[in-house]
């Protein structure tokens, strides 16, 4: 099997391939290279598989972009959207307006959310939700008369979105360079990656203690009266599937509580079962002041995100909206009826099919197959939590030296994976996996068998290139 990009004649200006090149600027894409190779055009999906316009079938090892939890053709979600389109295709929730689907979903979501979260604000994407967090943090502290307490601490290698605000929270150079980011007031603490950044013989617990101490030192340096919030993904996604060291979240929370710094948890990737719990806050014993959700909230079938907040935050915001006559923030489609209907049905499916229990049942095999790659000559580390994992490649196992030029080996491996019918996420010289939560044991084996073929082919290419 070969990737479909090779089967499209570049000379036909009317082909989808040529028209895409002619008219579309793609996100996260080298635009000049795209002009040369064009797109992989995916036409349809079947469970955990997607099919391109040449009929090639791929295991979607990333569930699209970490989001298609229930696969690519769930009849119940499709019917829920169609039914809502027929009944009420659009309305909003500005100016005291409401509609039934949004009311019902808000209630359901708050009732299953981590304890203490009482209200929900709806947006369309993780980026919009994290932008909303920045504004809420500022609004909240202004309402309390703490007008200097505005700084937000994120982390190196974090991913929180790509708008000006959320892109500043993100801690990846590619998302900052030549966009003039980050904006003022956004700080970045260390990335909690034990394999890469721990000192020699430093245990996970000791490393977590050091990171918490560094966070406290940063807060004290900036001034506790200026630091408003700390934001983190329970498991860092686009930064490389970084699973935090043991005791990290407990110690970070202790520091935040000591200085009245809000704990913001970004579960855009982790939420709705990815870690083996409905929310990763349960997995890591996190008590958030603000919780951000998206992606698997509708299994990717509709754009939707949510920001949940404690009563303390809501009450300060509500009082301030009364003083100012209105809460001056919102999105035209932030509580779109179709998205709400699909989100409601997604919750029904998660519960009725016991998707969380299924993830717990199959996570052992998923992790076992990942661990088996640790002995491969190219592999430095494997890491995982629930049904999300990654493999990191190194030029030298002993020194953990990265490949030069960075990303070249990962790019070649991605092409070999496609040729073997597998889509996964290249993260520099690493590969991430986050398949649909409905994946079966046999499909997990098939996915990693295909990955092994691609990895062995890449190793041969690497040896030949020496």
CATH of the domain at 426: 3.90.1150.10
Domain end among 322, 352, 382: 352
Output the tens digit of pLDDT for each of the chain's 466 residues.
444 444 444 568 899 999 999 999 999 999 999 999 999 999 999 999 999 999 999 999 999 999 999 999 999 999 999 999 999 999 999 999 999 999 999 999 999 999 999 999 999 999 999 999 999 999 999 999 999 999 999 999 999 999 999 999 999 999 999 999 999 999 999 999 999 999 999 999 999 999 999 999 999 999 999 999 999 999 999 999 999 999 999 999 999 999 999 999 999 999 999 999 999 999 999 999 999 999 999 999 999 999 999 999 999 999 999 999 999 999 999 999 999 999 999 999 999 999 999 999 999 999 999 999 999 999 999 999 999 999 999 999 999 999 999 999 999 999 999 999 999 999 989 999 999 999 999 999 999 999 999 999 999 999 998 7
Clarify whether residues 212 and 65 are in a common domain: no
Q: Measure Cα distances from 19 to 12, 22, 170 in Å.
A: 9, 5, 32
pTM: 0.95
Residue 328 CB partners (closer than 8 Å, separation 6+): none
Residue 48 and residue 443 in contact, taking contact as beta carbons nearer than 8 Å: yes
Structural domain boundaries, residue 60: 41-73+354-465
Clarify whether residues 399 and 268 are in a common domain: no
Residue 166 and residue 130 in contact, taking contact as beta carbons nearer than 8 Å: yes
Cα dihedral 422, 427, 429, 434, rounded to 10, equals -40
Residue 343 CB partners (closer than 8 Å, separation 6+): 105, 109, 297, 298, 302, 304
Clarify whether residues 331 and 193 are in a common domain: yes
Clarify whether residues 194 and 315 are in a common domain: yes
Query: Looking at the 3D structure of the chain, how many domains does it have?
Result: 2
CA dist 188 and 178 (Å) reads 18
Domain end among 352, 373, 400: 352
Give the CATH number, domain containing residue 248: 3.40.640.10
Residue 450 and residue 367 in contact, taking contact as beta carbons nearer than 8 Å: no
Residue 365 and residue 447 in contact, taking contact as beta carbons nearer than 8 Å: no
CA dist 326 and 310 (Å) reads 20
What are 342's strand-pairing partners?
A: none
Is residue 11 domain-resident? Answer: no
């Amino acid at each position: 099997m070969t990737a479909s990009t090779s089967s499209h004649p570049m000379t036909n200006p009317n082909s989808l391939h040529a028209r895409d090149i002619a008219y579309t600027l793609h996100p996260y894409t080298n635009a000049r290279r795209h002009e040369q190779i064009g797109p992989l055009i995916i036409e349809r999906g079947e469970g955990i598989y997607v099919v391109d316009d040449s009929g090639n079938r791929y295991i979607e090892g990333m569930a699209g972009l970490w989001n298609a939890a229930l696969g690519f053709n769930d009849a119940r979600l499709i019917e829920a959207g169609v039914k809502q389109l027929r009944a009420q295709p659009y309305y909003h929730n500005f100016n005291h307006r409401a509609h039934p689907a949004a009311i019902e979903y808000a209630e359901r979501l708050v009732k299953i959310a981590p304890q203490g979260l009482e209200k929900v604000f709806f947006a369309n994407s993780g980026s919009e939700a994290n932008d909303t967090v920045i504004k809420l943090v500022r609004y909240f502290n202004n309402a309390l008369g703490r007008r200097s307490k505005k700084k937000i601490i994120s982390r190196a290698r974090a991913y929180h979105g790509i708008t000006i605000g959320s892109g500043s929270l993100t801690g990846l150079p590619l998302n900052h360079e030549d966009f003039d980011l980050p904006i003022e007031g956004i700080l970045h603490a260390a990335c909690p990656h034990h394999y890469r950044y721990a000192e020699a013989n430093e245990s996970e617990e000791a490393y977590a203690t050091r990171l918490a101490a560094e966070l406290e030192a940063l807060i004290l340096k900036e001034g506790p009266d200026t630091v408003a919030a700390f934001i983190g993904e329970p498991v860092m996604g686009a930064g490389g599937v970084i699973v935090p060291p043991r005791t990290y979240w407990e110690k970070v929370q202790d520091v935040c509580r000591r200085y009245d710094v809000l704990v913001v948890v970004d579960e855009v990737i982790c939420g709705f079962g990815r870690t083996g719990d409905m929310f990763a806050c349960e997995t890591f014993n996190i008590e958030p002041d603000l919780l951000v959700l998206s992606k698997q909230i509708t299994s990717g079938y509709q754009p939707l995100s949510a920001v949940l907040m404690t009563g303390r935050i809501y009450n300060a915001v509500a009082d301030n909206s009364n003083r100012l006559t209105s809460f001056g923030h919102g999105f035209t489609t932030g509580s779109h009826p179709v998205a709400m209907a699909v989100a409601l049905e997604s919750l029904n499916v998660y519960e009725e099919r016991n998707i969380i229990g299924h993830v717990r049942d199959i996570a052992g095999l998923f992790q076992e197959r990942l661990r088996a790659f640790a002995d491969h000559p190219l592999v430095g580390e494997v890491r995982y939590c629930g049904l999300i994992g990654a493999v990191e490649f190194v030029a030298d196992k002993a020194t953990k030296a990265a490949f030069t030029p960075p990303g070249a080996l990962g790019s070649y491996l991605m092409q070999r994976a496609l040729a073997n019918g597998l889509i996964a996420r290249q993260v520099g010289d690493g590969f991430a996996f986050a398949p649909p939560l409905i994946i079966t044991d046999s499909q997990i084996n098939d996915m990693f068998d295909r990955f092994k073929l691609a990895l062995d082919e890449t190793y041969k290419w690497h040896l030949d290139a020496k």
